[in-house]
Amino acid sequence: MKPNAREVTRCEDCKALVFFAVTKGGERQCLDVEPDPLGTVAAYRVDVRVWWCRTITAAAEADQVAHPLETRFRVHAATCRRRPRAKQGEIPFDAAAASLTGAGGVVVPFRRRR
């Protein structure tokens, strides 16, 4: 089962289609929209626009049988193609401040005595 159009949103970083499911601990988990048979999360719809999910490990998969309403999805953090972030520019050199510090513009931190 796939999420419907009202349950889908876009990732802020890569603009891919994603949806959110609630974990057992009450946290929201971002999942890819397309089901994946090798996914590590089993999710199912509980109510309109409400999905619950659980993680699947190799040990748990051997012991448990998947519920027929559960669909496997991939966690979006594993597939996100994050857009490159802007790099911080070089800090401008202030000649006036450098002359006040003395030794070549090196600022010595002030430490209090105990």
pLDDT for 17 beyond 70:
yes
Which residue type, as a one-letter code, is found at position 53? C
Long-range contacts of 63-67 (CB under 8 A, 24+ apart): 66/42, 67/42
The DSSP H or E segment spanning 59 is helix 58-63
- The model's pLDDT over 47-103, given as tens digits with 9 standing for 90+, comes to 888 999 998 876 666 566 678 888 999 999 989 888 666 666 666 666 666 555 555
| Alpha carbon 66 to chain centroid, angstroms | 26
**What is the Cα–Cα distance from 18 to 15, expressed in whole angstroms?**
9
Instruction: Please report the beta strands in 2-58, taking only residues with DSSP state E, as ranges in sequence order.
Output: 9-10, 17-22, 28-32, 41-47, 50-55
